[in-house]
Chain A
Amino acid sequence: MKRAQRFWPWLAMLALGLSPAQAQDAGTLVIRNATILTVTNGTIRNGSILIRDGKIAAVGRNVRVPEGATVIDATGQYVMPGIIDCHSHIAVDGGVNEGSVAVSSMVAIEDVLDPTDVDIYRDLAGGVTTANVLHGSANPIGGLNAVIKLRWGADARGLLFEGAPPGIKFALGENPKRSNFTPQPGTPRRYPATRMGVMDVIRQAFTEAREYQKRWAEYRRRVAAGEQNLIPPRRDLKLEPLVEILEGKRLVHAHSYRADEILQLIRLAEEFGFKIATFQHVLEGYKVAKEIAAHGAGASTFSDWWAYKVEAYDAIPYNAALMTQRGVVVSINSDSAEEARHLNQEAAKAMKWGGLSETEALKLVTLNPAKQLGIADRVGSIEVGKDADLVLYDKHPLSVYAVVQKVLIDGHVYFDRAQDIARRAELEKEKKELTEKLQRSGEREQPSRPGGRRPGGPPRTGEGVQEDGEVRP
């Protein structure tokens, strides 16, 4: 974050100007003369992609350009599926952690999305089209996630990835047991304080959820039997999502590091009859890759971040490759608004460390996270019928020299580097004029002194606040 602000102050500024103007109906669009990295069907040189109504209608060398179609000439450029970041905390207002309680499954990221967070635009400019926006890792059972498309300019509801299965954040180890936090003097330590305690909290919560599920089933049974004067059970927003997990309707994304805690959670989930959708971070995943694969969980990890805390000491950069080779569906995520802007390079590292093929590396940030999030029928590869979420690079995206040129979501261009550069002067001018205008009107009068409070205050100025409650992920 810090770095981004220092080197790209203009990015925040110009992002403001590139609002939904370009998100108008794109109609029929053709990208021509591109090198197409389909991920599922190899590389097509000098190929075209036909986009109709936001979906990919045709891919290949011999795509006919319909009359009236908008044509993007991508000569010399590379097209890959939009990048999917399986662990993000961008676009969240008012804190990503409800850390006061050990189980915060009543809170929902969806309620507090901030579609004006400039990190959306910055990540978009790095080729990300979909992000799994997660609650922080302050508690064993965290809040509900929101899978979003980075439709810069849309309102909060407009960001949501329609039909994406709902999910929830879990967290194991140091963060939920709070070993990295010194509580204020006089404040009791929140339970749990150990890894045993973390498991106990989760077990306790699911025991409660089962009882809650039973209470409702019993109530419905008695109503169906025609009983009168029945008081329905009280609806509990904390337990409802846990019942959904038990019923297989909600994906669990579990922040985890050590092999032992990963195994513990697998056993606990199997005992209660539910599945972990993804282990997040999972830096010791390579030690228990077989068990993760057998459980059917995915693993979403970093390329080469480690040693930022004790539980991250045993990490190795071969993690993604080793887990892949053991049959785990692996993705590389960012957990950072900055890192998200070069996930293509993070994926490329798995070729150096572990020798994954180009396609396997690309899958780490496209098809695999799509599978993990249950949206692979919509995104993650360039195939007919899928959403036209595409990134155009000037060089091969697995090269460190590649720079994003255009990003499309649902067939609409949401980022265009050339346009972006062209608009900077205009925005500078507007800024200067407004500054002068407001200074003039401010001098004319003595404004009244604010005496009270206001409900919202002015909008944020673009600095995304990442309050994950952790030094590193």
Chain B
Amino acid sequence: MPRRTVGRLLLMVAAASLVVMFAATTAVPQNPPPYFAVRGARIVTGSGPVIENGTVVVANGLIAAVGTDVAIPPEAWVIDGKGLVVYPGLIDALTDLGLPSGQPQRPGQQPAGPPAQQAQQRLAQGPEDRPASTPWEVAADELNAEDRRFESWRNAGFTTVLSTPQRGIFPGQGAVVNTAGARASEMVVKAPATLHLTFRSAGGFREFPGSLMGTLAYIKQVFLDAEHYGQASAIYERNPRGVERPSYDRTERVVYEALTAGRPVFLPANTAVEIHRAIHIARQIGLRKYVLYGAQQGYEVAGALAEAKVPVLVSLRWPERDREADPEAPESLRSLRFRDRAPSTPAALHRAGVKFAFYSDGISNPKDVLKNVAKAVAAGLPREAALRALTLDAAEILGVAERLGSIEAGKIANLVVADGDLFEEKTKVKLVFVDGHRFEVRESARPAEPPRDNLSGRWSLTVNTPQGSQQATAELSMAPDGTLTGTVSGPMGTATISNGWLSGNRFSFTISLSMGPQQVEATFSGTVEGNRMSGTVSFGGFTAEFTGTRPGASASATAGPAD
């Protein structure tokens, strides 16, 4: 079996995956996509009324049925939904997940080529040099399925994101992708989906465009050129004889195609001034379908947005005081007002009837995304509207509302199962379904209690899987505060522990394993009593039980905390 396939199956096959982990040579039978049914749960469909005590059936990656009176197929895995709430999978409407994030390219720069080529690159000296323009780059084509952020986003309840290239003035085109899958081809829901724009400039006098107005002029010229391309090539194709052949330009062609396909154009606009400006520019260009992103000062211009009938993506990275600012210097009233009122933007947009969705805008921990939505709720946004912005409205803005955004039969089975209201702080996401695959969300938060034992030493671990038990060895060393470091060794090799801790008598540690092309994590958690430990190991959403013993007990126990 090729190693790549092994990696792919890991995420799909429950118990077998653990066998693969500890004995990579074991062959894995390929199961058909499973059937699931969540029974007796509160179902927030997102498009219709909330169903109390309802059932959702998931089959072949799609939602097969939803309601109170739904037949559960006999082959389905049934999940008891008592006390659980099922939501449509959440959508983060603008990210760079799966794409190299790194330093943003200097706006005036050409796309990076091999180093030797870069050195000879000429600075753009006018619009004709097509500065910082790579509209042909489609996120789906560059997508790295192994980006670890997919998993953390999924665990926070996000089952779909729009991923877009972000470098340059015309960085490329976005793709709607689901947050699980072994390779990009399985994750992509729609591509290309959107045409992305930024208003960056190189600054200074060295290269074009060096100013904001230069960037705007350049963008206007590109759209004119694209329109001309469409017109000229159509005339030429109809009758090439005697007609001067139009020149070829990749930027023109791709932009023209994106517009003809009706893809929305994304324009940046965070402050009220920028929002007015973007609407004006869009009108000058004659864009029929466009979306503004940023929009945090939308509370001042909700009326204008409603009038322009333009949907917006609200950045959830609420403004903060500049960290580099002189702490002694008083903050301007303007900045104070902005920071105070930005979270009231979603409520203002909702009241004005502006269609909007949310996006994480570089927030590194996806859990903060929902926390920041809660701030918008606290500032007056109704919960239903908040949920809609995270689901169906996002799907509509991204042009995928027929496939995603609500719990309806026939739509893609992207679901979030939580133990309460999603916007309550204490609520936990328990399960996430992406394309009908089930993912369990594990707690990894480290409790505050100090350690009551010392885990340092060599442990023999036995992992019980349906395929039999597997042996592994853990070399642990513990700091006085309970932090665990060390390694775990199995037949497949040795992995280093990360995020390990002991608190009271509860412990958790995670190892990262290379499985073919991808990195996968296994988290061991449980309790320790003297020289015995027991608990579960979770791996790609599946769990197995394990036990451990410390044979060289007396020596290790007195070794004390690691230096």
Contacts and interface: CB of A to CB of B under 8 A. Distances in A.
Interface of A: 12-13, 16-17, 93-101, 104, 106-109, 111-112, 114-116, 135, 138, 143, 155-157, 181, 183-184, 187, 190, 229-232, 234-238, 427, 430-431, 434-435, 437-438, 442, 447-462, 469
Interface residues of B, number: 86
A232 B227 CA distance: 11
Contacts of B372: 448
A95 B236 contact: no
Contacts of B244: 231
A104 B214 contact: yes
Contacts of B449: none
B456 interface: no
B168 to A, nearest CB: 13
Contacts of B104: 453
B212 A100 contact: no
Interface in B321-343: 321-322, 330-340
B334 A462 contact: yes
B246 A456 contact: no
A181 B332 CA distance: 34
Contacts of A457: 270
Given A231-B231, A237-B224, A458-B338, A98 B209 contact: yes
Interface string B490-531: 000000000000000000000000000000000000000000
B205 A453 contact: no
Contacts of B166: 453
> Closest 9 interchain pairs by CB?
A452-B362, A94-B212, A456-B270, A455-B268, A95-B211, A99-B205, A451-B364, A448-B368, A455-B294
A459 B224 contact: no
A95 B336 contact: no
Interface stretch (B196-204, B412-420, B545-553): B196-204
Contacts of A437: 340
A454 B360 CA distance: 10
A100 B372 CA distance: 41
Nearest to B233: A231
Contacts of A229: 235, 238-239, 242-243
B475 to A, nearest CB: 33
Contact of B280 (A111, A138, A435): A111
A112 B277 contact: yes
Given A16-B334, A94-B211, A438-B339, A111 B270 contact: no
A342 to B, nearest CB: 25
A183 B281 CA distance: 33
A111 B101 contact: no
Contacts of B243: 229, 231
Interface in B263-284: 268-274, 276-277, 280-281
Contact of A455 (B214, B270, B273, B320): B270
A108 B213 contact: yes
A461 B216 contact: no
A99 B210 contact: yes
B293 A455 contact: yes
B217 A12 contact: no
A451 B334 contact: no
B207 interface: yes
Contact of B201 (A95, A234, A435): A95
Given A100-B205, A431-B330, A155 B336 contact: no
B8 interface: no
A111 B210 CA distance: 15
Nearest to A469: B205
A434 B334 CA distance: 11
B294 A456 contact: yes
A156 B294 contact: no
Contacts of B274: 455-456
A450 B271 contact: no
Nearest to A237: B221
Given A155-B276, A453-B362, A107 B368 contact: no
B203 to A, nearest CB: 7
A16 B207 CA distance: 36
Contact of B335 (A99, A112, A451, A461): A461
A451 B363 contact: yes
Given A100-B126, A112-B216, A231-B243, 20 more contacts: A17-B333, A94-B213, A100-B204, A100-B208, A100-B210, A109-B213, A112-B277, A116-B272, A155-B273, A231-B236, A234-B225, A237-B220, A431-B336, A434-B333, A448-B363, A448-B365, A454-B294, A455-B199, A457-B270, A458-B338
Contacts of A434: 333, 336-337, 340
B269 A111 contact: no
Given A157-B280, A184-B206, A454-B317, A459 B335 contact: yes
A442 to B, nearest CB: 8
12 contacts: A16-B337, A107-B209, A108-B217, A111-B277, A111-B281, A116-B334, A156-B276, A231-B246, A434-B336, A453-B104, A453-B362, A459-B297
B232 A97 contact: no
Contacts of B228: 232, 234-235
Contacts of B218: 106
A456 B275 CA distance: 10
A458 B277 CA distance: 15
Contacts of A116: 271-273, 334
A115 B340 contact: no
A112 B213 contact: yes
Interface string B119-158: 0000111110000000000000000000000000000000
A440 B273 CA distance: 29
Contacts of B34: none
A115 B364 contact: no
A231 B243 CA distance: 8
Interface string B335-379: 111111000000000000000000001111100100010000000
